[in-house]
Amino acid sequence: MEYVKLYSELLTAEIDGLLTCNEIERLIEKPKFLHQGDLAFPCFQLAKTMRKPPAEIAKGLSSRLQSQVDGSFNRFEPVGGYINAFLNKQNVAKELLNEIRQKKNHYGDLNLGESQTITIDLSSPNIAKPFSMGHLRSTVIGNSLSLIYEKCGYRTVKINHLGDWGTQFGKLITAYKLWGTEEKVKAEPIQELLALYIKFHQAAESQPQLEQEGRDWFRRLENGDAEALELWKWFKDESLKEFKKIYDLMGIEFDSYAGEAFYNDKMEPIVKMLREKGVLEDSDGAQVVKLDESEAPCLIKKSDGATLYATRDLAAAKYRFEEYSFVKSLYVVGNEQTLHFKQIKAVLAKMDFPWANGITHVPFGMMLKDGKKMSTRKGKVVLLENVLQDSIQLAEKNIEDKNPSLANKKDIAVMVGTGAVVFHDLKNFRMNDIEFSLEEMLKVEGETGPYVQYTNARAQSLVRKGAFADGDGEVNLAADSEWPVITELQVFPDTIKRAIEKNDPSLIAKYVLNLSQAFNKYYGEVKILEDDAEKDARLQLVHSVSIVLEEGLRLLGLKAPNEM
């Protein structure tokens, strides 16, 4: 919070370098009760160095502080070993609301990035397989992180590292040649390709020669065989069409779709470099890099010469640095791949790439259903697109029940329905496992996306009803009832800073929930539209709340309808 800084600066000037400004800042507390002021400084540490009782120090210091109260603080009061500081609420409110009025949706912008680039590896589903809950988590966390980084002055490059290469495509081609038809794949690509893949594995149990056929087809694919390539490309295009439906619903775009296959011709140089550096070792015919950071060596080439997932990621990391010269390269991928990214980073460090330091795995937990991992069990596929459609339908039904005359019902149902799914994910610290529940997601009371969206729509409707015109009139809000809303508005920039430090959008989700709660309480207690001298100031506050809620929702990847 800004005022913590201000308070610690005032204190620093009074204590002759006994503590640094940062040390003081860390010591400052928020008192439990309102009558104890807004900020409290404990004098116990000073007491040790000064060899004086804390209460005596508090007394002396607060009278010195008192003699130089400025616009932000009203008074300082020694209580035991603490100095309680009382803000000048009226001035603070005025200053804050003016700041928001001027900056609008740029309130909270930070220039931490100075236009440097961050690459974000996100979503990255596997071709010919259903888009899983894990990929959804990666998509929404990654998308929100990119919005947060941009707000902090970074340039971001969102990369969808599609899983579009590997031996499984040889098997898929084999299965398609044996049992597939064009019509079926066209009609329901993902389901049909998955069914073929499953059938392959079942059949291979009694007909082991199928495995060899699969390997042969993959070899032909790797050698550029026209038929193999054509089928592979078709499977990929059909899958992408399906994935794009999901991205469209969520309003998410990527800067690059360079998937694993993109690196086919970029791996030999990496293997050569590893060999030249002398870090590549032979292990039972396979090529590996031994690492001390993790017990398991990183497998670079199988004994049959085939490259691996890790080899492609090494090539991709190098390519990304050369292409985008990132200062940081994020990988939003489930925590089951922690070892993999540890290895990638360690191998790149062994290759003496200084940028290896910027490689950052941003892991997350699982999505659970009834306490169990949501998996794509054989044949029984939970298609994510259906989840989104169900959520949208439920949102539409809610609107129909509560506000049937609403204009653009369909569009708003999409904003609310997809927003509910996204928010449900982002409100949890990303490492936590999440229980999936459509009913929970859509509740308008509770910690949900629709609740925040609804609060914002309520604020906007007040602004409309009050015929509020955003002029530059004096804002004078003396009452204590505004204070909880003011203090929430104030911590928005700091919340963004903490979210970027921890790569954690949940801090923003929790923030918009807190601001919504504070605002709804205020709304319940105060007659905002009452025609008195403070009406305009109150509407200015409400308007500010809606600016900040909308911006907070935007950073999470949610839309903010002005009516719902």
Q: Does 333 bind ligand ARG (CB under 6 A)?
A: yes
Q: How far is the CB of 160 from ligand ARG (least distance, A)?
A: 9
Give me the phi and psi of 551, to 5 degrees please: -70, -40
Q: How far is the CB of 264 from ligand ARG (least distance, A)?
A: 15
Q: How far is the CB of 523 from ligand ARG (least distance, A)?
A: 44
Taking the least distance from each CB to ligand ARG, the nearer of 126 and 144 is: 126
Q: Does 213 bind ligand ARG (CB under 6 A)?
A: no
Stretch that binds ligand ARG, among 6-14, 64-72, 118-126, 490-498 (CB under 6 A): 118-126
Closest CA to 126 of 194, 181, 173: 194
Q: Does 121 bind ligand ARG (CB under 6 A)?
A: yes
Question: Measured between alpha carbons, how far is 154 from 192 in angstroms, rounded to an integer?
Answer: 42
- The one-letter amino acid code at 558 reads L
Stretch that binds ligand ARG, among 36-44, 119-127, 216-224, 354-362 (CB under 6 A): 119-127
What is the DSSP pairing of strand 117-121 with strand 82-87? unpaired
Q: How far is the CB of 233 from ligand ARG (least distance, A)?
A: 18
- Cα distance from N-terminal residue to C-terminal residue, the chain: 33
Q: How far is the CB of 509 from ligand ARG (least distance, A)?
A: 24
Taking the least distance from each CB to ligand ARG, the nearer of 87 and 315 is: 315
Q: Does 123 bind ligand ARG (CB under 6 A)?
A: no
Residue with CB nearest ligand ARG?
Answer: 163
**Hey, how many other C-beta atoms are within 10 angstroms of the C-beta on 331?**
26
Stretch that binds ligand ARG, among 120-128, 169-177, 428-436, 522-530 (CB under 6 A): 120-128
Stretch that binds ligand ARG, among 121-129, 145-153, 243-251, 351-359 (CB under 6 A): 121-129
Taking the least distance from each CB to ligand ARG, the nearer of 89 and 361 is: 361
Q: Could you give the 3-state DSSP secondary structure of residue 289?
A: strand
Q: How far is the CB of 203 from ligand ARG (least distance, A)?
A: 25
Q: How far is the CB of 498 from ligand ARG (least distance, A)?
A: 26
Closest CA to 489 of 512, 468, 521, 458: 512
Near ligand ARG in 161-180, by CB under 6 A: 161, 163
Taking the least distance from each CB to ligand ARG, the nearer of 129 and 538 is: 129
Closest CA to 125 of 218, 252, 227: 252
Q: Could you give the 3-state DSSP secondary structure of residue 281?
A: strand
Q: Which residues of 528-542 are buried (b: 16+ CB within 10 A; e: fewer)?
A: beeeeebebbbbbbb
Tokens read off for 563 = 């009516």
Taking the least distance from each CB to ligand ARG, the nearer of 7 and 321 is: 321
Closest CA to 149 of 364, 335, 330, 318: 330
**Which positions from 510 to 539 touch ligand ARG by CB under 6 A, shown as an x/- string?**
------------------------------
Q: Does 126 bind ligand ARG (CB under 6 A)?
A: yes
Angle between helices 535-556 and 89-103 (to 10 degrees): 50
Selected binder of ligand ARG within 313, 482, 536, 550 (CB under 6 A)? 313
- The one-letter amino acid code at 415 reads M
Q: Does 331 bind ligand ARG (CB under 6 A)?
A: yes
Q: How far is the CB of 337 from ligand ARG (least distance, A)?
A: 7
Q: How far is the CB of 133 from ligand ARG (least distance, A)?
A: 11
The strand order across the sheet containing 117-121 reads 155-159, 117-121, 328-332, 359-362
Q: Does 151 bind ligand ARG (CB under 6 A)?
A: no
Q: Which residues of 84-93 are buried (b: 16+ CB within 10 A; e: fewer)?
A: bbbbbbbebb
| DSSP letters spanning 65-79 | HHTT--SSEEEEEEE
Taking the least distance from each CB to ligand ARG, the nearer of 134 and 505 is: 134
Q: How far is the CB of 187 from ligand ARG (least distance, A)?
A: 25
Applying CB under 6 A, what is the total number of residues that bind ligand ARG? Answer: 9
What single-letter DSSP state applies at residue 29? B
Q: How far is the CB of 95 from ligand ARG (least distance, A)?
A: 45
Q: Does 242 bind ligand ARG (CB under 6 A)?
A: no
Question: Measured between alpha carbons, how far is 423 from 390 in angstroms, rounded to an integer?
Answer: 16
Q: Does 482 bind ligand ARG (CB under 6 A)?
A: no
Taking the least distance from each CB to ligand ARG, the nearer of 146 and 453 is: 146
Closest CA to 123 of 134, 108, 107, 110: 134
Question: Measured between alpha carbons, how far is 450 from 564 in angstroms, rounded to an integer?
Answer: 9
Contacts of 17 (CB under 8 A, 6+ apart): none
Selected binder of ligand ARG within 124, 139, 239, 455 (CB under 6 A)? 124
Taking the least distance from each CB to ligand ARG, the nearer of 28 and 157 is: 157
Which helix (H) or strand (E) segment is 156 a member of? strand 155-159
Tokens read off for 556 = 């999470």
Taking the least distance from each CB to ligand ARG, the nearer of 243 and 331 is: 331
Question: Measured between alpha carbons, how far is 451 from 517 in angstroms, rounded to an integer?
Answer: 10
Contacts of 42 (CB under 8 A, 6+ apart): 27, 29, 54, 81, 82
The contact set with ligand ARG (CB under 6 A) reads 121, 124, 126, 161, 163, 313, 316, 331, 333
